[in-house]
A and B are shown apart, each in its own frame.
Chain A
Amino acid sequence: ETGVTQTPRHLVMGMTNKKSLKCEQHLGHNAMYWYKQSAKKPLELMFVYSLEERVENNSVPSRFSPECPNSSHLFLHLHTLQPEDSALYLCASSHTSSGETQYFGPGTRLLVL
């Protein structure tokens, strides 16, 4: 499946680094999402964008900063992360933000040292 792509696929960073995760969807969808998936925890929704406007921010620490320049691209800017932020970060998209079927990217596996 290449509908939703994410780069990089793996990332190791120190706590003082700044990095960005990129997501691109080729499905013509209007809504995009960031999820965090930690070991043995449920999927945690972080941010929701609909038509490039952020519509939900689930109490995510400010060290995570999303950006949606257009409906096809979504970024997650990372800075001064903590080791507990190590997880799989999944991007998803859907036709609209009304809870429709979501299509996930392959994820970025992040390790914070």
Chain B
Amino acid sequence: GQQVMQIPQYQHVQEGEDFTTYCNSSTTLSNIQWYKQRPGGHPVFLIQLVKSGEVKKQKRLTFQFGEAKKNSSLHITATQTTDVGTYFCAYRGSTLGRLYFGRGTQLTVWP
């Protein structure tokens, strides 16, 4: 099936620095979802993007869906220690019920 490549796999930043994770696909995606998993926790839905070129913001988080609907990014402005965790992108595939997850980007924030 389709696969999304999520980069980077790990990112270490100093508190206050910005952070971006990218999700890239070789084929057009119908939508993209982003999830966050805190250390020791479970994935929690953040947002879904559906439209070409869509941009959504949640406080310091900015989510983008590429014009060609083949890539997406999550950008965090001025990271805080509460942003620590693994960020996953996921997309709905053609198989009923199948949500394909990227490998995730593990973010560490140094105080």
Contacts and interface: CB of A to CB of B under 8 A. Distances in A.
A97 B42 contact: no
A96 to B, nearest CB: 8
Among A101, A105, A106, the one with the most B-chain Cβ atoms within 10 Å of its Cβ is A101
B42 A55 contact: no
B93 interface: yes
Interface in B32-54: 33, 41-45, 48
B43 to A, nearest CB: 5
B85 interface: no
Interface string A40-55: 0111010010100001
B33 A48 contact: no
Among A1, A31, A42, A98, the one with the most B-chain Cβ atoms within 10 Å of its Cβ is A42
**Interface SS, A side:** loop
Report, as a range, how many residues of chain A touch the other chain.
Answer: 20 to 34
A107 interface: yes
Contact of A101 (B33, B98, B104): B33
Given A42-B102, A101-B48, A106 B42 contact: yes
A102 interface: yes
A104 B102 contact: no
Contact of B43 (A41, A55, A90, A97): A90
Contacts of B93: 99
B19 interface: no
B97 A42 contact: no
Interface string A64-86: 00000000000000000000000
A94 to B, nearest CB: 8
B95 interface: yes
Interface of A: 1, 31, 33, 41-43, 45, 48, 50, 55-56, 90, 97-107
7 contacts: A33-B97, A98-B96, A99-B98, A101-B33, A101-B45, A102-B45, A102-B99
Interface of B: 31, 33, 41-45, 48, 88, 92-93, 95-99, 101-104
Q: Pick the 3 closest A-B CB pairs, nearest first.
A: A99-B92, A97-B97, A104-B42
